[in-house]
């Protein structure tokens, strides 16, 4: 009987050690292989990152940890069945369940390693350099995608020129380059370029509006002196293709000649009054004959022709002065 009891104690210790070994192996696999594949956070990420960072950037962390608990439970059942098979009279029943539970645990382990249950949101493995720093490669991505990717790493984006449309502006340069290590919250300098609208042949007013809406600064090389753009079309533009945000786009125009200005209308000349003598101006002097004197004239007059009425007695050109 004593020998039987000693065997039970020895089997229990062996089963406990086996259980602890399996648990340690599972934890090591998840922390090393899982993090290497970008599926699960490392210990440093889980403890040093800001609150909520892990849950935001590892979309399947909850399910990954749940699967870990299931694997540990299976390992405990396997260890218990092994202990029962070694020390109990129901060894045949334990022997029946032991391979089946072990096979289920093996399937769970394969699922944990194959399925991307915790892949980072917005960050692909191709953008990270294994074994190096936390700066991802965002060259070629849109400004919006680059900002989201850097925030997923706990970094910030800093553009040389903030794009007006961050979905169309593609990153062409980043500093520092991918693979470098930065502290949390540090900026990564980015430079992006957006497609310049093709405005050749368009009306100058339309081209000016399209370029401004696209985040560029139009510059008219040969604008008309009256700045009447309704009679101008774009003959050439520079640059074309891609350009940084708010870059100057030079436009050369073809403009029609302005229409000639209408000649000013002159007031019609007053028609001569047939009842007045044309030799006098000022007051109306009746025509000769008959002869009239100054009392017959209403006001002073000026002799502009022949003094047929002999009104200018002094000969100075003025007559009938009061």
Upper half-sphere CA count for residue 297 (Cβ side, 13 Å): 27
The stretch 46-56 carries a mean pLDDT of 60
Higher-confidence position of 194 and 82: 194
**Is the confidence at residue 294, as pLDDT, over 70?**
yes
Higher-confidence position of 259 and 79: 259
**Is the confidence at residue 119, as pLDDT, over 50?**
no
**Is the confidence at residue 273, as pLDDT, over 60?**
no
Each residue's pLDDT tens digit, 56-99: 556 555 566 666 667 667 676 666 666 666 665 556 665 666 66
Higher-confidence position of 307 and 40: 307
The stretch 291-312 carries a mean pLDDT of 80
Q: What local confidence, expressed as pLDDT, does residue 254 receive?
A: 92
**Is the confidence at residue 137, as pLDDT, over 80?**
yes
Higher-confidence position of 239 and 120: 239
Domain 125-195, CATH number (from 2.40.10.500, 3.30.950.10, 3.40.640.10, 3.30.10.20): 3.30.10.20
Each residue's pLDDT tens digit, 199-229: 999 999 999 999 999 999 999 999 888 888 8
The stretch 22-38 carries a mean pLDDT of 62
**Is the confidence at residue 288, as pLDDT, over 90?**
no
**Is the confidence at residue 192, as pLDDT, over 90?**
yes
Q: What is the mean pLDDT of the chain?
A: 75
Q: What local confidence, expressed as pLDDT, does residue 126 receive?
A: 42
CA atoms of 123 and 136, how far apart (whole Å): 8
Q: What local confidence, expressed as pLDDT, does residue 147 receive?
A: 93
Higher-confidence position of 312 and 45: 312
Q: What local confidence, expressed as pLDDT, does residue 40 receive?
A: 61
Higher-confidence position of 295 and 145: 145
Q: What local confidence, expressed as pLDDT, does residue 2 receive?
A: 43
Question: Given CA atoms 17, 20, 26, 27 in this order, what sign does their dihedral have?
Answer: negative
**Is the confidence at residue 4, as pLDDT, over 60?**
no
Task: Determine how many CB atoms are found less than 10 A away from the CB of residue 266.
Answer: 6
Higher-confidence position of 112 and 246: 246
Q: What is the pTM of this model?
A: 0.44
Predicted confidence band of residue 130 (pLDDT cuts 50, 70, 90): very low
Ranges 51-55, 98-102, 148-152, most confident: 148-152
Q: What local confidence, expressed as pLDDT, does residue 1 receive?
A: 42
- Helix 91-114, helix 61-87: angle, nearest 10: 160
Ranges 67-76, 136-145, 309-318, most confident: 136-145
Reference 114, options 239, 29, 4; nearest CA is 29
Domain boundaries, the chain: 2-114, 125-195, 204-255, 277-322
């Amino acid at each position: 009987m004593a020998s039987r009891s000693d065997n039970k104690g020895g089997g229990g210790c062996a089963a406990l050690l086996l259980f602890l070994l399996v648990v340690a192996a599972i934890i090591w696999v998840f922390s090393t292989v899982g993090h290497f594949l970008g599926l699960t956070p490392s210990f440093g990420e889980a403890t040093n990152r800001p609150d909520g960072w892990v849950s935001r950037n590892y979309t399947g962390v909850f399910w990954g940890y749940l699967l870990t608990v299931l694997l540990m439970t299976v390992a405990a059942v396997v260890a218990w069945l092994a202990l029962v098979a070694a020390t109990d009279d129901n060894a045949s029943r334990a022997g029946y369940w032991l391979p089946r539970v072990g096979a289920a645990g093996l399937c769970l382990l394969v699922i944990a390693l194959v399925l991307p249950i915790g892949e980072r949101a917005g960050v692909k493995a191709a953008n990270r350099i294994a074994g190096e720093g936390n700066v991802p490669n965002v060259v070629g991505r849109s400004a919006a995608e680059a900002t989201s990717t850097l925030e997923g790493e706990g970094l910030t984006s800093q553009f040389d020129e903030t794009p007006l449309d961050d979905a169309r502006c593609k990153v062409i340069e980043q500093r520092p380059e991918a693979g470098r290590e930065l502290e949390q919250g540090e900026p990564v300098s980015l430079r992006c370029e957006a497609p310049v609208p093709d405005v050749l042949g368009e009306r100058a007013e339309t081209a000016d509006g399209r370029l401004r809406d696209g985040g560029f600064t139009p510059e008219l090389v040969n604008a008309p002196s009256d700045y009447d753009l309704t009679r101008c079309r774009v003959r050439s533009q520079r640059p074309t293709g891609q350009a940084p945000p708010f870059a100057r786009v030079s436009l050369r125009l073809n403009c029609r000649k302005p229409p000639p200005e209408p000649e000013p209308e002159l007031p019609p000349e007053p028609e001569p009054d047939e009842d007045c003598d044309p030799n006098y101006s000022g007051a109306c002097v009746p025509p000769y004959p008959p002869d009239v004197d100054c009392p017959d004239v209403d006001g002073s007059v000026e002799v502009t022709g022949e003094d047929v009425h002999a009104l200018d007695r002094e000969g100075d050109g003025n007559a009938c002065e009061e």
